């Protein structure tokens, strides 16, 4: 039985549907291609700051045929240099919450995945794009620079050289091209992204929550470490996970040829 609520009901910008262990967050800004504004960002932050009890995986998606078209420039506030820096750092903080909350997040993408929308997608752990998806970083055509974490997250996916070209030219990539480049992990047919995301989120939710947490917290951080520090951190994660109750259950289930029942 699903339970649909919305945070920030006055604006109705984020719809939240909890169905068992899976929460689906739908960005909902009609007529705006779900462009990001501070209020919507606040609602996303509020969810990840205190997810509903029992949720083990999250789907992040959009409404009206679009994922997110980036920062809503029509509502952009004139800020001085300090204000822009603080605004950017707030984006970084919320994107970090999505990436490191401990909940696996699957993006179901279609239509516009542009600018800040692509920055947000890159902070999620599994990405599904359907036919008709457009990936773009158009900041160069607007006379601005990315500020939501693209140079770190998208830069690491594409590499600095390709990301630089993407920004300089305003180049657009489709779902198949995005798959080849790593902007998405799955490319599916029209209208199939959400169904695939639900299937993947359901499988992920069946994993042990501790091992999911370890994967979310450790893997991206290990890439920032030296080789020796990364290998030592891997050993720590292995020690914690492999001596847990869930590890015992996983081994018993394997030997008994049944599905594991994790905590």
**Mean pLDDT, the chain, as a whole number?**
93
Q: What's the CA gap between 194 and 162, in Å, rounded?
A: 29
Give the CATH number of the domain where residue 177 resides: 3.90.226.10
Band of pLDDT at residue 74, cut at 50, 70 and 90:
confident
What is the per-residue pLDDT for 261? 85
Bridge partners, residue 17, by sequence: 4, 24
Over residues 153-192, the pLDDT tens digits come to 999 999 999 999 999 999 999 999 999 999 999 999 999 9
Query: If you average pLDDT over residues 22-38, what whole number do you get?
Result: 95
What is the per-residue pLDDT for 218? 97
Q: What's the CA gap between 171 and 134, in Å, rounded?
A: 10
Residue 263 lies in a domain: no
Whole-model pTM: value is: 0.92
According to DSSP, residue 68 is labeled B
Query: Domain of 216?
Result: 209-255
Any idea which residues carry the catalytic annotation? 119, 139
**Same-domain status, 220 and 181:** no
Residue 8, pLDDT above cutoff 50: no
Q: Total domain count for the chain?
A: 2
Residue 104 structure tokens: 């696996």
Residue 20, pLDDT above cutoff 90: yes
Q: Which of 171, 186, 205 corresponds to the end of one domain?
A: 205
**Same-domain status, 166 and 114:** yes
Q: Is residue 44 within 8 Å of 98, Cβ to Cβ?
A: yes
What is the per-residue pLDDT for 194? 98
**Same-domain status, 244 and 134:** no
**Same-domain status, 29 and 92:** yes
**Same-domain status, 228 and 114:** no
**What crossing angle do the helices spanning 209-222 and 245-255 adopt, rounded to 10°?**
110
**Same-domain status, 57 and 148:** yes
Residue 242 lies in a domain: yes
């Amino acid at each position: 039985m699903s339970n649909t609520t919305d945070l920030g009901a006055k604006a109705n910008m984020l719809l939240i549907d909890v169905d068992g262990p899976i929460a689906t967050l739908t960005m909902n800004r009609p007529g705006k291609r779900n462009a990001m504004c501070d209020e919507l960002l606040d609602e996303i932050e509020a969810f990840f700051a205190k997810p509903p009890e029992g949720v083990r995986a999250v789907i992040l998606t959009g409404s009206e045929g679009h994922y997110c078209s980036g920062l809503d420039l029509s509502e952009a506030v004139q800020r001085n240099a300090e204000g822009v820096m603080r605004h950017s750092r707030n984006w970084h903080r919320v994107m970090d919450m999505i990436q490191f909350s401990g909940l696996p997040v699957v993006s179901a993408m279609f239509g516009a995945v542009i600018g800040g929308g692509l920055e947000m997608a890159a902070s999620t752990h599994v990405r599904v794009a359907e036919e008709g998806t457009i990936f773009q970083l158009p900041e160069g055509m607007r006379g601005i620079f990315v500020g939501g974490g693209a140079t770190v997250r998208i830069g690491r996916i594409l590499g600095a050289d390709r990301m630089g070209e993407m920004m300089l030219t305003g180049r657009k990539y489709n779902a198949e091209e995005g798959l080849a480049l790593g902007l998405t992990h799955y490319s599916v047919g029209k209208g199939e992204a959400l169904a695939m995301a639900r299937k993947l989120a359901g499988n992920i939710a069946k994993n042990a929550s501790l091992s999911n947490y370890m994967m979310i917290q450790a893997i991206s951080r290990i890439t920032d470490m030296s080789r020796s520090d990364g290998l030592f951190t891997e050993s720590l994660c292995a020690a914690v996970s492999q001596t847990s109750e869930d590890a015992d259950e996983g081994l018993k289930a394997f030997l008994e040829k049944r599905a594991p029942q994790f905590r």
